[in-house]
Structure 1
Amino acid sequence: MIIAIPEPLKTLVTFAHPILMTLTLILALYAGYVGWQYRRIRSTEGEEKKALISKKYNLLHHNLGSVFLLLMVAGAIGGMAVTYNNNGKLFVGAHLIAGLGLTFLAALSAALAPILQQGKEWARSTHIAVNTVLVGIFVWQTLTGFEIVQRILEQMSKAS
């Protein structure tokens, strides 16, 4: 089912996904930085350790991770919905497959949180590895997304 989107909103709806996902990538990088700060607590002592603890990086990292998961799922669903609505089909290619894979990796990372809270080192290492791979793929996918945006802009300029 195609939903008729009023012309004034069509551009906004079309570009909501790339804007949202660019912001989500920035959030992922910030969450990684905060997670790294939180991890530093384990290897520091004295005043530096107290200063790191006082910044409550653990709570911030968990909250950022929750928002990240929400944005990844919303972005995946929203991107597919807009693509289908604008074109009557999905384009099954690297960008779509990577997006679905990233959504899975985000869910896997979040699913490790209860095990991380139990102090399991294997879960911590897995969490870091999953998120490192996730960010790497996400950066690549952002580049493919910019290519898609360029094609959309070219189509829009030809149509006007």
Structure 2
Amino acid sequence: MESIKVWSQFAHPVLMWVLFGTAIYALYLGIKVKRLRQADKEERKELVKGNFINRHHKVGSLFMALIVLGTVGGMAVTYINSGKLFVGPHLLAGLGMMAMVTTSASLVPYMQKGNSLARLSHVGLNMTMLLIFAWQAFTGVQIVQKIIERM
């Protein structure tokens, strides 16, 4: 049981690095969707074949579910292993990222109806989240190093 407790501390960082890559892939797909929306008739025919809208939606949905589960899971593992949460920049930024992702996803129905403010907000929230995520990845490595030093 003790080994599960110790090794569980590494599930959150591994998941977050995978999700960081997933976020970059979702950004790539989102750029393709924008190109599709703005393309002329000939280019549009080619881009439609990539099914970028559906892929962006699926990757974004998976990302949202896993970022929520990963955030809550990371907090749970921290509490289980230390009996408290460490309220600091890493935790607060993680909670903020989770809020940005869920808010961004809630804008999708408005974007589908052509609301440009919703689209601009969606992109702005996700780009901000991605920048914070990059910072989070490196502060997370520092936390993992502290955990390893205590082992």
Q: Do the two structures share a fold, i.e. TM-score over 0.5?
A: yes
**What is the CA–CA distance in structure 2 between the aligned matches of 1:66 and 1:12, rounded to whole Å?**
28
The Cα of 1:12 is off from its aligned counterpart by 3.1
Which whole-Å deviations, capped at 9, do the CAs of 1:121-142 have from their partners, x for residues lacking one? 1111111111000000011011
Given the two structures, how large is their TM-score scaled by the length of structure 1?
0.91
- Paired residue type of 2:85: L
**What is the CA–CA distance in structure 1 between the aligned matches of 2:141 and 2:119, rounded to whole Å?**
33
Which residue does 2:144 correspond to in 1? 149
Question: What's the % identity of the aligned pairs?
Answer: 46
The Cα of 1:14 is off from its aligned counterpart by 1.1
Which residue does 1:98 correspond to in 2? 93
Residue 92 (structure 2) pairs with residue 71 (structure 1): no
Structure 1 residue runs without a partner (length 5+): 1-5
Which whole-Å deviations, capped at 9, do the CAs of 1:24-76 have from their partners, x for residues lacking one? 11101100100100110122223321111111100011111110110111011
Contact kept, 8 Å, 2:6 with 2:81, in 1: the verdict is: no
Corresponding residue SS for 1:89: coil
Residue 15 (structure 2) pairs with residue 15 (structure 1): no
1:84 to 79, 82, 85: 79
Which structure has the greater CA radius of gyration? 1
Q: CA RMSD in A?
A: 1.0
- Paired residue type of 2:49: S
Structure 2 residue runs without a partner (length 5+): none
The Cα of 1:11 is off from its aligned counterpart by 3.7
Given the two structures, how large is their TM-score scaled by the length of structure 2?
0.96
1:53 to 48, 57, 72: 48
- Paired residue type of 2:73: G
- Paired residue type of 2:124: A
Which residue does 2:108 correspond to in 1? 113
